[in-house]
Amino acid sequence: MALDLQTFKTRALSAVIFVVVMLGAIFYSIDSFIILFLIVHTGCYIEYSKLIKGTSTIQTTKAKVLYNLFGLAYITTSFFAITHLASTHWVSILGTTQYYVLPMLVIISIWINDTMAYIVGSFIGKTPLSALSPKKTWEGTIGGAILAIVAVVLLGKALTELSYQTLVIVSATAAITGTIGDLIESKFKRMAGVKDSGRIMPGHGGFFDRFDSLLLASPCVWLLLTLFAQ
């Protein structure tokens, strides 16, 4: 299939703007960090609610209320988890103590896992992971998770004073639960019969599309760090 240059430019430009705005808000201050993720999680819930409203298999009012309550709890828990990681887990990095280290490690773990899973799956992937996401394979999923753990542990030890245990908990949990979070969103999109949850990013979909992995990874990382991190 020939490359659509205009589509590629649109996707690339929107991705660059998105990354610049997101990183700027994350690094500027803890207040801008919290505002950013309040906007993100609000956007996720609005798009989730639209998916539920457009799902023909959820027909009764009671079922729709229950699904919306589930979505509210799911997304609200993620918001409080990632902001709690920032506000109460300040970590030393390159000689300064910062609020964004653990949340960024979660995000980086998800990004590396997604990228490496795609690359590994493209080369050696043969076994489908789930009917919800036909392009995902077990080989790519396992390879992506392993490479994410290795990369984050090496990066974390080079830049921070976090223990190996903490770095493994963060990277492994984010990689595994991030993939599950992506499949959960795929299930809701399939139920609603849509490709994307929204259009906030031209060529990339909506908030729910971009942050589906983070919604499950954040509370899981927070819980395991609370229970097991030294």
Q: Where are the domains of the chain?
A: 14-228
**Chain-centroid distance, C-alpha 189:** 16
Q: For residues 136 and 134, give the distance between their C-alpha atoms in angstroms, rounded to a whole number.
A: 6
Over the stretch 18-43, which tens digit does the pLDDT of each residue have?
889 999 999 999 999 999 999 999 99
Over the stretch 169-202, which tens digit does the pLDDT of each residue have?
999 999 999 999 999 999 999 999 998 888 877 6
Q: Is pLDDT at 228 greater than 90 in this prediction?
A: no
Locate 194 and state its tokens: 């849509």
Interval 42-63 mean pLDDT: 90
What's the predicted TM-score (pTM) here?
0.91
- N- to C-terminal Cα separation, the chain: 51
- Position 199 scores a pLDDT of 81
CB distance 205 to 197 below 8 Å:
yes
Interval 166-171 mean pLDDT: 97
Q: Is pLDDT at 8 greater than 90 in this prediction?
A: no
CB distance 90 to 97 below 8 Å:
yes
